[in-house]
Structure 1
Amino acid sequence: MSDWTDQIPQAARDFMAGRRLDEVECIVADIAGVARGKAMPASKFVRQEKFYLPNSIFLQTITGEWADNPSGAFTEPDMVMRPDYTTATAAPWTADWTIQVIHDAMDQQGNPVPIAPRNVLKRIVKLYEEKGWKPVVAPEMEFFLVARNIDPNQPIIPPMGRTGRRAAAKQAYSMSAVDEYGKVIDDIYDFAEAQGFEIDGILQEGGAGQVEINLNHGDPVALADEIFYFKRLIREAALRHDCFATFMAKPIEGEPGSAMHIHHSVTDLATGKNIFSDEKGRETPAFLHFIAGMQKHLPAAVALLAPYVNSYRRYVPDFAAPINLEWGRDNRTTGLRVPISGPESRRIENRLAGMDCNPYLGIAASLACGYLGLLEAENPRAECLGDAYMSEDELPYNLGDALDLMIENEAMRGVIGHEFTAVYESVKRNEYKEFLQVISPWEREHLLLNV
């Protein structure tokens, strides 16, 4: 096993040290960000360089149904799945000694499969590199810990804390609120340490049982891999303590939603310097061009940042969710915020993405907007100095409209990939059609006897 273990991160080697590895989970993220793949004995993993999965895994909806294949016949040809050993990490919650490895999806000629979400993000990063740039991101993850919900007809409620009371809302940044479910947080830390992930901070958000985890800045693909892994480890930590962790954009009525804020900067590959700052520490034209690209193209990216019907329940004015394309310095009411920083760390925070998005696709879409802005070299609107919640509506407020905007934007489709956007639209139209066939409690309550 020395050949492949020499290529894996130190944390994975430490996890395996002195132990007999039982199993390897060979995984890939589907359109929803769900882990698909195969688990196999470690002894078998050692003997093979690849395995196969049908490309239809990228046509599966969140309900398990199959969307129409926009490229024609539904023949389900096999993809070649090759391990990316740099992603090897522990699965510390399992009963046996298990390692997870993310695999790259290739076609049978050795080309990246364009509809695989991880490949979509790699494509965007490569576009930057071809221009001499390196994109850098820092994601923030918000999620809710909730009481176990085994009946979908029942509302989701906050979990029971150590005091015997349900977690309370409006406790942002409260250390006591975090302590209410401290055992879950402890397991999140322990799992993250075993997996080699560095957490920049954990805090209580504004919702009841709502938590935010901040990650350090770094390579977009590596950070998307971490979020992909983090979603699973957080769910596993919650299950150990008789509650659920959910990344739904809006799980609890009357509570704020969960976002995945993405901080962006771009460095020059030759010098390593932030292209958003000049030699004197001032903002550069590139900085403003990046913002302008986000203002212009984010409406076409919303379908990727807000991928479900529930996502649009988060876009409610005055509910800690900026639903505008304004930009401002240290202004949390704007959709595009410029945080306080030194010149070397000058960055732009996209506050529109929901935590329910596939991290590969959310980061890819956000970077695509900035990339187009750098190419188009336009200037943004004037900075918003007041309350941007009062701005005019500029974003789609349902999934159908968001998909229309995505398809209409030729520049965005060209960057994200025409084949991918066709498959994504097919999957999401199918999900939207399924949702429209479900009759809600609101309709039964107000329409049954009144209309």
Structure 2
Amino acid sequence: MTDDYLLEHPEVRSIRVAAADLNGQPRGKRIPRRYADKAITEGTRFPFSVLNLDIWGEDIDDSPLVFAAGDPDGILKPTERGFVPMPWIDAPTALLPIWMFHEDGRPFAGDPRQALARVVERYTARGLTPVVATEMEFYLIDDRGKELRVPPSPRSGKRRHQAEILALRQLDAWDAFFTALYDACEAMDIPADTTISEAGPGQFEINLMHQSDALKAADDAWFFKLLVSGLARRHGFAASFMAKPYPEYSGNGLHTHFSILDAEGRNIFDDGTPQGSAALRHAVAGCLAAMPGSMLILAPHATSYDRLVPGAHAPTGIAWAYENRTTALRIPSGSPAARRIEHRVAGGDINPYLLITAILGAALNGIEDAAEPPPPITGNAYQQALPQLPDSWAAAVDAFATSPEIARIFAPELITNFLATKRQELHYMAGLGPEEQTELYLDIV
């Protein structure tokens, strides 16, 4: 129980209550421990508009949530997750995740976590349960100078600028940080599994385990981003999930794996063959159809599109394949019982709640429609004539605004709010140069 956490942790001195806004930024309050009971039992209040701020934390111009409505409060109640520790804060502190409701108890449709709950309810109504895992890529960065650099190795004091894919030397060099990170994940109940060094210098990937609770999977990805960024600062450097912090090196992706269980717990993508079932094909078709409209969620920021170039380990064409990492959707090999889809488009700079909503919602669209995808491709997707993903922020905004697939997945209020947010950012970002954009996004996303 939420109340029990504080009884079991008398060392906690303060709490944070926080919800994710549309950009995935934590918005909330600091509350002394002695007043925690009210936040737990009655909830807390702040304006609906707070979940619809731009990347600078500013109100959206002409938002219907602000002056037109009188900027009213919503009620934010604890999620089922309850308290989690915040190991990156010096004083013992606990985070109480919250989500937003109207006064009459209705979920606020502009809350990204409520959007995911809405899609999960669609699955539940069909007797289905999605199983989700994420792969989290990030860079460790020394940002103290004018140019971003690899931090000096705590072991040797040297800066290694070469790519070191799956290099144990890299993992060993940063062992103190990763030991602290795994300890923190254990304390926060984040199911962190394997770590590898990636293609960029100072770049790593940690996999979060599959779980049959999509809301918890999104919580974990959100918490993980907060944790890695905060803990890195405690160790004297930055960590960034920015899609491409270095122009000359690989970008950060966030690949999502998912399968779907029926009411008896069977994987509906498994028909005993390497190809998978009709349900798998339908889910693939739904994801492919929604991909252009989903791009604003998969690549939500000005610098997100720097990553999406041919030959850079990030997809540019709309296609699927078996065991092929050049495509947008990959069907991994392995046991038929573990048959799943890997969605490879998103960058590390996404909002996990919107990302998982978009992917699961698109898959369910395809299943409901019994849609059939084009044939899977073979070979290098970059060298084939394929339908292309939107290649700019502005094109993604337009695709999101007109997508019938997006209209099936997200509530109209969230669509309106997200478009207003991105159009405002698009306008003001035009006045910033590349270095200013990097400085803005490095820590925030």
TM-score by length of 2: 0.92
When structure 1 is superposed on structure 2, of 203-212 and 278-287 the one drifting more is 278-287
The alpha carbon displacement at 1:91 in A equals: 1.3
Provide the C-alpha distance between the structure 2 equivalents of 1:20 and 1:439, rounded to a whole number of angstroms. Answer: 45
The alpha carbon displacement at 1:415 in A equals: 1.8
Q: Secondary structure at the match of 2:17?
A: strand
Provide the C-alpha distance between the structure 2 equivalents of 1:329 and 1:258, rounded to a whole number of angstroms. Answer: 23
The alpha carbon displacement at 1:277 in A equals: 1.4
Aligned amino acid, residue 92 of structure 2: W
Alignment of 1:51-90 (within 5 A): 51-71=44-64, 73=68, 75-90=70-85
Aligned amino acid, residue 288 of structure 1: R
Q: 2:30 aligns with which of 36, 39, 48?
A: 39
Provide the C-alpha distance between the structure 2 equivalents of 1:378 and 1:196, rounded to a whole number of angstroms. Answer: 37
Provide the C-alpha distance between the structure 1 equivalents of 2:435 and 2:324, rounded to a whole number of angstroms. Answer: 37
Provide the C-alpha distance between the structure 2 equivalents of 1:386 and 1:281, rounded to a whole number of angstroms. Answer: 18
| 1:23 aligns to 2:14 (yes or no) | yes
Provide the C-alpha distance between the structure 2 equivalents of 1:382 and 1:172, rounded to a whole number of angstroms. Answer: 32
User: Measured at CA, do residues 88 and 290 of structure 1 come closer, stay the same or move farther in structure 2, by a change above 3 Å?
Assistant: same
The alpha carbon displacement at 1:31 in A equals: 1.1
The alpha carbon displacement at 1:69 in A equals: 4.6
Q: Would the aligned equivalents of 1:53 and 1:79 in 2 still touch at CA under 8 Å?
A: yes
The alpha carbon displacement at 1:4 in A equals: 3.6
User: Stretches of 4+ moved more than 4 A in 1?
Assistant: 279-282, 439-442
Which residue in the other structure is 1:243 paired with? 237
User: Measured at CA, do residues 190 and 167 of structure 1 come closer, stay the same or move farther in structure 2, by a change above 3 Å?
Assistant: farther
The alpha carbon displacement at 1:37 in A equals: 0.6
User: Measured at CA, do residues 409 and 342 of structure 1 come closer, stay the same or move farther in structure 2, by a change above 3 Å?
Assistant: same
Provide the C-alpha distance between the structure 1 equivalents of 2:9 and 2:308, rounded to a whole number of angstroms. Answer: 50
Q: 1:327 aligns with which of 320, 328, 341?
A: 320
Alignment of 1:114-263 (within 5 A): 114-149=109-144, 154-161=146-153, 162-218=155-211, 219-263=213-257
Provide the C-alpha distance between the structure 1 equivalents of 2:38 and 2:288, rounded to a whole number of angstroms. Answer: 50
Aligned amino acid, residue 179 of structure 1: D
The alpha carbon displacement at 1:67 in A equals: 1.4
Q: 1:421 aligns with which of 415, 425, 428?
A: 415
Where does structure 1 lack aligned partners over 5 or more consecutive residues?
7-11, 443-451
Provide the C-alpha distance between the structure 2 equivalents of 1:20 and 1:144, rounded to a whole number of angstroms. Answer: 32
Provide the C-alpha distance between the structure 1 equivalents of 2:430 and 2:418, rounded to a whole number of angstroms. Answer: 18
Q: 1:371 aligns with which of 364, 376, 379?
A: 364
Q: Would the aligned equivalents of 1:167 and 1:180 in 2 still touch at CA under 8 Å?
A: no
Which residue in the other structure is 1:316 paired with? 309
| 1:437 aligns to 2:437 (yes or no) | no
Aligned amino acid, residue 119 of structure 1: Q
Q: Would the aligned equivalents of 2:243 and 2:251 in 1 still touch at CA under 8 Å?
A: yes
| 1:344 aligns to 2:337 (yes or no) | yes
Provide the C-alpha distance between the structure 2 equivalents of 1:328 and 1:157, rounded to a whole number of angstroms. Answer: 36
The alpha carbon displacement at 1:88 in A equals: 1.7
Aligned amino acid, residue 283 of structure 1: G
Provide the C-alpha distance between the structure 1 equivalents of 2:56 and 2:31, rounded to a whole number of angstroms. Answer: 26
The alpha carbon displacement at 1:83 in A equals: 1.1
When structure 1 is superposed on structure 2, of 433-442 and 162-171 the one drifting more is 433-442
Q: Secondary structure at the match of 2:396?
A: helix
Q: Secondary structure at the match of 1:386?
A: coil
User: Measured at CA, do residues 142 and 46 of structure 1 come closer, stay the same or move farther in structure 2, by a change above 3 Å?
Assistant: same
CA deviation vs aligned residue, 1:32-59 (integer Å, no higher than 9, x gap):
1111111112221124421101111122
Aligned-pair Cα RMSD in Å:
2.0
Which residue in the other structure is 2:289 paired with? 296
User: Measured at CA, do residues 225 and 18 of structure 1 come closer, stay the same or move farther in structure 2, by a change above 3 Å?
Assistant: closer
CA deviation vs aligned residue, 1:242-277 (integer Å, no higher than 9, x gap):
110011001011011001100011111x21111111
When structure 1 is superposed on structure 2, of 105-114 and 236-245 the one drifting more is 236-245
In the comparison of the two structures, how many residue pairs are matched? 429
Provide the C-alpha distance between the structure 2 equivalents of 1:299 and 1:367, rounded to a whole number of angstroms. Answer: 15
Where does structure 2 lack aligned partners over 5 or more consecutive residues?
437-445
CA deviation vs aligned residue, 1:289-327 (integer Å, no higher than 9, x gap):
111111111110010010001000000111111222211
Which residue in the other structure is 2:443 paired with? none
Provide the C-alpha distance between the structure 1 equivalents of 2:162 and 2:275, rounded to a whole number of angstroms. Answer: 40
Provide the C-alpha distance between the structure 1 equivalents of 2:435 and 2:303, rounded to a whole number of angstroms. Answer: 15
Q: Would the aligned equivalents of 1:70 and 1:422 in 2 still touch at CA under 8 Å?
A: no
CA deviation vs aligned residue, 1:316-356 (integer Å, no higher than 9, x gap):
11111122221111111111001112122110000001110
TM-score by length of 1: 0.91
The alpha carbon displacement at 1:197 in A equals: 2.1
Provide the C-alpha distance between the structure 2 equivalents of 1:192 and 1:359, rounded to a whole number of angstroms. Answer: 17
Q: Would the aligned equivalents of 2:19 and 2:97 in 1 still touch at CA under 8 Å?
A: yes
Provide the C-alpha distance between the structure 2 equivalents of 1:233 and 1:393, rounded to a whole number of angstroms. Answer: 37
Q: Would the aligned equivalents of 1:183 and 1:241 in 2 still touch at CA under 8 Å?
A: no
Which residue in the other structure is 1:111 paired with? 106
